[in-house]
Amino acid sequence: MDWQPVKKKRTFEEVLAQIERRITEDGLTPGDRLPGERQLAEQLHVSRASVREALRVLETLGVISSQAGRGPDAGAVLISKPESALADLLRLHLGTTSLSLEEVIDTRLMIEQWAVLHAHAAHTPEALEAMGAALARMEEAATPQEFVDHDVAFHLGVAMLSGNRLLASTMRALRQTIHGFSVAAVERAGQTDLLMADHRRIYELARAGDGPAAARAVTEHLARAYPRAPRDPAAPGEPRT
C-alpha cells in the first residue's frame, strides 16, 4: 500500500500514524521491515533528518529496532505494535519515579473497577474475546513468565471493556511496570489454581453484565495476588493493612 505524504510538522506523530495505518490495512506485524530512510522520506515528503529523528524516538519507545549497515538485514524492523507506544512511554516514566507498588495497585484497582462498572456494549464482545483467549493460554502456560504474559493480556481485556483507549494504554503501562514482581509472586505461590479461579469469576461476571459483582471480584483478586494490596477506593475511611 502507499504511504501518504506528511502534511504537518509533527513528524513523529505522522510517521507513527502511517505505521498504525499500515498495520491495520496491510497486516504489518512485528518482524516486518519498514522502508529505508530515503524511501520513507520520499514517500512522506519530509527530510531524511526528520525521518531519522522520528525513527530514533520509535526505537526508544520499543516500537522498532534499527540496524546499521546495508543489505537485507539493515533498516528498521517493527518489534511491537505502535498502539502500545503510549503505554511504553508511560512505563518509561513510571520506571523513573518513586511510585510504590501499592500506588500502582491502587491505580490498577480503580481502572479495572471502573471498566467493569462502565462496560461499553460496543466494545464488550472484543474485550471478552481477549479475556477468554488469555484464560485459555494461562491454562496452558508452562512457566510463571508465560502465565504472567497472558495475565497481562487478560487484565488489559478488562480495561478494554470500557472502550476507553487511554485506560487500556495506562493499564498496559501499569502491568508492564510490575511485570517482574508478578512473575516473582507466581513463583513464590508455586501454583496458580486460586488465581485462575479469580480470573474465571471476573470473566463470567463481566460476560453476564454484572458490573458490581465483577468489581468486587476484581478487588478480591488483587488482594489475593498482592497480600498488601490497597483498600477498596469505595471505602476511603478504612485503614490499609
18-70: pLDDT as tens digits: 666 665 666 667 788 878 888 878 877 777 877 787 777 677 666 778 765 55
Which of these ranges, 7-11, 16-20, 29-33, 96-100, has the smallest mean pLDDT? 7-11
- Percent of the chain at pLDDT above 70? 68
CATH of the domain at 180: 1.20.120.530
Is the residue at 194 inside a domain? yes
Check residue 184 and give its pLDDT.
76
- Mean pLDDT, the chain, whole residue set: 77
Residues 107 and 220 grouped into a single domain: yes
Specify if 239 maps to a domain: no
- The pLDDT, as a whole number, for residue 160 is 93
Q: Are both 211 and 176 inside the same structural domain? A: yes
For residues 63 and 8, which has the higher predicted lDDT (pLDDT)?
A: 63
199 grid coordinates: 480470573
Whether the predicted pLDDT of 78 surpasses 70: yes
pLDDT-based confidence at 201, cuts 50/70/90? very high
Is 191 in the same domain as 220?
A: yes
9-41: burial string, b at 16+ Cβ within 10 Å, e else: eebbebbbebbbebbeeeebeeeeebbebeebb
Q: Within this chain, do residues 44 and 93 fall inside the same structural domain, yes or no?
A: no
CA distances from 217 to 70, 79, 80, 152, 165 (A): 54, 35, 31, 17, 23
If asked whether residues 16 and 121 sit together in one domain, one would say no
Q: Which of 54, 80, 106 is the last residue of a domain?
A: 80
Is pLDDT of 234 > 60? Answer: no
- Single-letter amino acid code for the residue at 85: A
User: Same domain for 147 and 53?
Assistant: no
Hey, what long-range contacts does 17-23 have (CB within 8 A, 24 or more apart)?
Answer: 18/44, 19/58, 19/63, 19/78, 19/82, 20/82, 20/83, 23/78, 23/81, 23/82
Do residue 98 and residue 216 come from a single domain?
Answer: yes
Residue 205, in any domain of the structure: yes
Lowest-pLDDT range of 17-21, 69-73, 229-233 = 229-233
Q: What is d(CA 167, CA 226) in angstroms, rounded to the nearest whole number?
A: 21
Q: State which residues form the domain around 25.
A: 11-80
Tell me the average pLDDT across 70-78: 67
Q: Is residue 230 part of a domain?
A: no
| Same-domain status, 104 and 215 | yes
